[in-house]
Amino acid sequence: MKRVQFSHPLMPYMLLLPQLAIVGVFFLWPAAEAIRASFYLEDPFGFGSTFVGLDNFKDVVSASEYSRTAWFTLIFSAAVTFFSLSIALLLAVKADNVIKGASTYRTLLMWVYAIAPPVAGLVGVMLFDQHIGPLNDLAHALGWNMQIGVNYFDTAFAMTVIAVWKQIPINFIFFLSGLQSVPKSVQEAAAVDCRSSSRRFWTVTFPLLAPTSFFLLIINITYALFDTFGIIDLVLKGEPGNNPVTLVYKVFLDGFRGNDLGGSSAQSVILMILVFALTVVQFRMIERRVHYS
């Protein structure tokens, strides 16, 4: 094994320092602070606090809404991840086959990606608006008495559609580049052996896309859990009411809107544990099945 020699023994640590400092200041320190705060009930202004042990965790878990929020988060994340990946893959496969005017199609499909997330959220909210939204009118014309912000399911539906719509273009770009890196020779060899193009896709092309798919799976789960925050905030217009929220949004609601630092910290600690578990599962269980080269 080749060893890199540094002129000074401290040199490698010096080089690592900036990165370690960033991790420490922006991740480890806040995480430690959250863990500490989760055991206290603290005055928001910082004048007083009471050590309450595990009470914050008990209060969080025993609240009637917490399990509903957790279930919604799970279903919402699964739906957003599944639909944004599958629709993007379908579009990418179809766009990959187009020869005439290919760049026009691709540009049109990537179009939404150029819109900033808050703007996309706003556009989505306006499309679903109870009073002026065309999608709302369409639903009513089809006999669906859609009321975003009043009906729990309708609001969840709108959030999912907007979140999927915003995420399709980036998935599309990655899938398309993945598809284009599948060597022509492999495709031709498979075509000689197998006439069914759909079977060829699932048995040859799709496994070759596995690294791309795995990467996108992680990106999309992260997106659905964390980055949909802005969309949820816009759909709810700042007032949760009887509407679905995700666990991350609830941390924000209780901590930033309600100034309940202890309860909010307890929730973020629970979330940290969940994310840690999810990461282990993803990299230990799923990545093993991914064939890189």
| 181 vs 173: CA distance, rounded Å | 12
Task: List the one residue from 124, 133, 169, 262 that touches other proteins (CB under 8 A).
Answer: 262
HSE-up of residue 145 (Cα within 13 Å, Cβ side): 2
Please enumerate in sequence order all residues whose Cβ is within 8 A of that of 260, keeping only pairs 6 or more positions apart, or say none: 254
Q: How far is the CB of 147 from other proteins (least distance, A)?
A: 7
| 46 vs 53: CA distance, rounded Å | 18
Task: List the one residue from 181, 273, 277, 281 that touches other proteins (CB under 8 A).
Answer: 181
| 265, 255 Cβ separation under 8 angstroms | yes
Residues numbered 188 to 247 that lie near other proteins (CB under 8 A) are 189-190, 193-196, 199-200, 203-204, 207-208, 211-212, 214-215, 218-219, 222, 226-227, 229-230, 233, 237-243
Q: How far is the CB of 203 from other proteins (least distance, A)?
A: 5
Asked if 259 touches other proteins (CB under 8 A), the answer is yes
Task: List the one residue from 224, 232, 248, 270 that touches other proteins (CB under 8 A).
Answer: 248
Q: Which is nearer to other proteins, 104 or 197 (CB)?
A: 197
Q: Report the amino acid identity of residue 48.
A: G
Q: Any bridge partners for residue 42, and if so which?
A: 49
HEC string of 95-120 equals: HHHCCCCHHHHHHHHHHHHHCCHHHH
Give the binding range for other proteins (CB under 8 A) out of 86-94, 107-115, 146-154, 163-171. 146-154
| 220 vs 217: CA distance, rounded Å | 5
Q: How far is the CB of 58 from other proteins (least distance, A)?
A: 11
Residues numbered 158 to 177 that lie near other proteins (CB under 8 A) are 177
| 204 vs 190: CA distance, rounded Å | 7
Residues numbered 73 to 92 that lie near other proteins (CB under 8 A) are none
Asked if 44 touches other proteins (CB under 8 A), the answer is yes
Q: Which H or E element spans position 44?
A: none
Which pair of tokens denotes residue 169?
A: 């273009």
Give the binding range for other proteins (CB under 8 A) out of 69-77, 86-94, 101-109, 250-258. 250-258
Q: Which is nearer to other proteins, 49 or 112 (CB)?
A: 49
